[in-house]
Amino acid sequence: MLEKMVQDIIDKKMQEQYAHALIPAVMHAQVTKVSALGTYEYKDMKIEGCDKCEPYTATITGKWYEYNLKILTKDGAPDDNFPEVPGVKSKIQIEQGGKAAVVMLYGELRPFIVGEAK
């Protein structure tokens, strides 16, 4: 009986103060919707390595993307513990239906895409 009480107290404390420790920090998510947003630039890039040309300065332009993500279980099935998350912005390009690797900072339901997963 005492053991059960202690376990109940530990479980309650974990849920209240350390809920972020109960979910994985890195997960897979299915891209359910993707939209291209504006562009970004890396300016003053120096291009070198061409045997027949001089180094030159260039600007690289890329796109921002906005995703809707559905968190997946370890087995790759949709995880019903998480709602679909809209409005996740990233410079990483992933096609609709693709899989992203995401991190959840501080246990919040605010995923950040760290890469594409296969």
- pLDDT band of residue 91 (cuts 50, 70, 90) is very high
- Are 56 and 29 within 8 A, CB to CB? no
Please tell me the pTM assigned to this model.
0.74
Stated length of the chain: 118
pLDDT of residue 11: 83
The domains found in the chain, sorted by start residue, are: 20-36+65-117 (2.40.50)
Q: Torsion-angle region of residue 21: left (phi > 0), alpha (psi -120 to 50) or beta?
A: alpha
For the chain, give the mean pLDDT. Answer: 88
Percent of the chain with pLDDT over 90: 52
